Amino acid sequence: MTADDDEGFKALTDRISRGAGLTLDAYKDKCLRRRLLVRMRACGAHTYAQYAAVLDERPGEWEKLQDALTINVTRFYRNPETWNRLRDGLLPGLLEARQGRLRAWSAGCSSGEEPYSLAMLCCDIAATEGQPAWAQRVRIAATDIDRESLARAAAARYPRASFVEAPDWMTERYCEAVGDAWQVRASVRRLVTVQRLDLTRDTFPASTYDLIFCRNVVIYFDRPTQERLFAQFADALSPGGLLVLGKVETLLGPARECLTLVDARERIFRRAA
Ligand SMILES: C[S@@+](CC[C@H](N)C(=O)[O-])C[C@H]1O[C@@H](n2cnc3c(N)ncnc32)[C@H](O)[C@@H]1O
């Protein structure tokens, strides 16, 4: 990589930070370069400066760039072992202790499959435990930086392929078939609030959560940003509350002092009671 490339890269990322409202400082350099290259190739741009010119000329390119920078892949019940661990051991206890008043947050929820999976699981546990009232009290905040994903989350209508990893009861009990798609039922949707939030920049909601999911999001962030986020999550958890990370993510920094490992394989941590 030449000095020119570095300068061009810096000029372009500064520009994107201003134009797209993304705080790129927090994203890993290598990751950013790889993603930018995808868009540059797609536009036939050979240098960062040429790609900056494309951004000037084609307004639609801004959206494509944002999509490339924030990968939105997700599914219902993604990594079923993690959900099964929650269902079989951890979540029923939390729901019982709070008599259903569970406060949860899916941070980096993409198009909503994760928060709705959690909402359905809570409803199912409430039904199994003979406590249907619990399901009415659960509240789940679903946040992401990407407006398009959030619009899909708010619509809550998904292709059948989104459920490949999910148990059948999810669609049978909590969705309605609409053509080729599944529409999440209103009784589940009302437990979930969808909202835009940039984890690298915005202040956190001033709430306390019993459960925070932040899966497959921080892998794109540099280490200082990850450490800061984990510390903020630890602060936002209620005593005994759980943090669930993605399967390839590692808890780093000061948060390790107040969060204890519950399940190493499933990357589940608990705040001391
Ligand atoms: C791979 S998806 C993860 C979805 C879900 N948590 C899962 O594991 O299935 C990563 C999400 O992180 C979001 N994201 C990336 N940077 C973000 C930021 N700075 N603040 C909030 N969300 C961000 C992306 O928009 C994307 O929807």
Dihedral sign from CA coordinates of 205, 210, 216, 221: positive
For CATH 3.40.50.150, list the domain ranges present in the chain: 80-271
Closest residue CA from atom 8 of ligand 1: 215
**Alpha-carbon gap, residue 137 to 21, rounded angstroms:** 35
| 65-108: pLDDT as tens digits | 877 887 888 999 999 999 999 999 899 999 999 999 999 999 99
- Cβ 212 vs Cβ 243: under 8 Å: yes
Q: How far apart are CA 54 and CA 50, in angstroms?
A: 6
Asked if pLDDT for residue 246 goes beyond 60, the answer is yes
Residue 243's pLDDT is 98
pLDDT in tens, 166-223: 999 999 999 999 999 999 999 999 999 999 999 998 988 878 999 999 999 998 788 8
pLDDT at res. 1: 43
* Options 1.10.155, 3.30.60, 1.10.287, 3.40.50; CATH of 3-69: 1.10.155
The whole-angstrom separation of Cα 92 and Cα 100 is 9
> Closest residue (by CA) to atom 3 of ligand 1?
216
Residue with the smallest CA separation from ligand 1 atom 17 is: 145
- Given a cut of 70, whether residue 22 has pLDDT beyond it is no
CA 27 – ligand 1 centroid, Å = 12
Which residue's CA lies nearest to atom 24 of ligand 1? Answer: 70
Instruction: Out of 27, 76, 217, give the residue to mutate to test ligand 1, the one with the largest number of ligand atoms within 8 Å of its CB.
Output: 217
- Answer whether residue 232 shows pLDDT above 80: yes
**Ligand 1 center to 7 CA (angstroms):** 28
Distance 2 CA to ligand 1 centre (A): 32
Give the number of the atom of ligand 1 that is nearest the alpha carbon of residue 198: 20
22: tokens are 């993304």
pLDDT tens-digit readout, 133-157: 999 999 999 999 999 899 999 999 9
Class (C level, CATH) for 80-271: alpha beta
Q: 3-state DSSP call for residue 20? A: helix
CA angle centred on 149, ends 148 and 155, rounded to 5°: 95
Contact indicator for 118, 74 with CB cutoff of 8 Å: no
Name the percent of the chain lying above pLDDT 90: 72
For residue 20, the model assigns a pLDDT of 66
State the span(s) of the chain assigned CATH 1.10.155. Answer: 3-69
Nearest-10 Cα torsion for 75, 23, 206, 99: 10
